[in-house]
Homo-oligomer: A and B are copies of this chain.
Amino acid sequence: MNYSERYLQTRARTESICYPLKTEDYVVQPIEDVSPPKWHLGHTTWFFETFILKPFLPGYNEYDVNYNYVFNSYYETIGSRVIRTDRGNLSRPSVEDIYNYRKHVDNAMLQLLQTSISEKIKELVLLGFNHEEQHQELLFTDIKYILGHNPLFPKYSEDAELGLKIPSGKNSMATIQEGIYEIGHKGDGFCFDNELGRHKYHLQGFHIAKDLVTNGEFLDFLNDGGYTSHQYWHAEGLNWVKTNNIQAPLYWHKIEGAWYHYTLGGLKPIPMDEALCHISFYEAAAYAAWKGMRLPTEFEWEVAASTFEWGHRWEWTNSAYLPYPGFMRAPGAVGEYNGKFMINQMVLRGASECTSPAHSRASYRNFFHPHLRWQFTGIRLAL
């Protein structure tokens, strides 16, 4: 596929995700971690405008100089920005304005992509695709949060979010032998800088579950008093449970004695044989401790990934998000992409049903703070 085609497809997919929304749904930001959908639409556009069009398309006419302030996410190099908690307070630019902004930038990008572009530009365009695809997943998770925390529980789409049924002959484990393995991205395809620096890693032998933990299995933990049994928890996790009065995974509701969860298709009874979703690292680690097991490290996961099916949940690992050997930040704003977040976050491996296809590879390193639950997270056990 050439760059123009992929550009069009990527941009169209973003807009199709927003198609079922009402204008009002584009605007709100119920918690700091969630961004308004219209912000995602504008920010991904600003990325192409700022890093590609303004430096590389001669005569490019900036759409609105103020948008730089509104749609910068965290790039300190580029200048001041609307602080993250304020995004949901901005009614303007309107949704219509932002779609016009997208058209303006799309036209200019297509003009540029029809010329013979340098390797440097190709690299940035590719980064732009991957950046927008990451925001496509965030659109799903943020829309779910926005609708799922509305007291009216509106549906996004009737047939959205089919769960992953775990086969009944489950609970079997794969075994990996002690040895030296290679970790990190291999080959020529695109990857993020945090996956680079393929290097040797020595692993002890270990076992890893072939299947994800189900809703029903987690309910056993809950019913066994798991949330109030301090011995299974990290001290910070227990504090998080108490401070936020956590009693179940995100989106779970007990209504007249039965368990329901909010899905993009509305409020539904929880299917107990499907893969658990929307738990924090703290809950994942506590569940593993309750089972007398543990979470895998990201290195174990990557080595063992060929032995199981994955791609339905982002899976918490017990690895902190840290640089691989030889990692260096790129100079300039693009270098702010990954390295500056390498503290106090945990690595997730895998992918989810909402992940863009180009983001499913065994070396992919996702990362979130340990208390966050609004991604499609799950648990795979190791021993």
Contacts and interface: CB of A to CB of B under 8 A. Distances in A.
A93 interface: yes
9 contacts: A22-B91, A23-B24, A25-B92, A28-B28, A66-B151, A76-B238, A180-B202, A204-B326, A282-B343
A343 B236 contact: yes
A82 B335 CA distance: 42
A27 B25 CA distance: 9
A82 B149 CA distance: 11
Interface stretch (A109-117, A159-167, A254-262, A316-324): A316-324
Given A23-B23, A88-B88, A202-B180, A235 B341 contact: yes
Nearest to A294: B323
Interface string A15-37: 00000001111111110000000
Contacts of A76: 230-231, 238
Nearest to A146: B91
Interface in A320-344: 320, 322-323, 325-326, 329, 335-336, 340-344
Count the copies: 4
Nearest to A145: B89
A325 B202 CA distance: 11
A370 interface: yes
A103 interface: no
A151 B234 contact: no
Interface in A232-273: 233-238
A245 to B, nearest CB: 13
A152 interface: yes
Contact of A150 (B91, B199, B234): B91
B342 A74 contact: no
A93 to B, nearest CB: 7
Given A91-B150, A180-B202, 6 more contacts: A70-B151, A82-B151, A89-B146, A200-B202, A234-B340, A235-B340
A56 interface: no
Interface in A63-98: 66, 69-70, 74, 76-77, 82, 86, 88-95
A319 B318 contact: no
A201 interface: yes
Contacts of A86: 30
Nearest to A26: B24
Contacts of A231: 76-77, 329, 335-336
A28 B151 contact: no
Given A319-B322, A344-B344, A92 B152 contact: yes
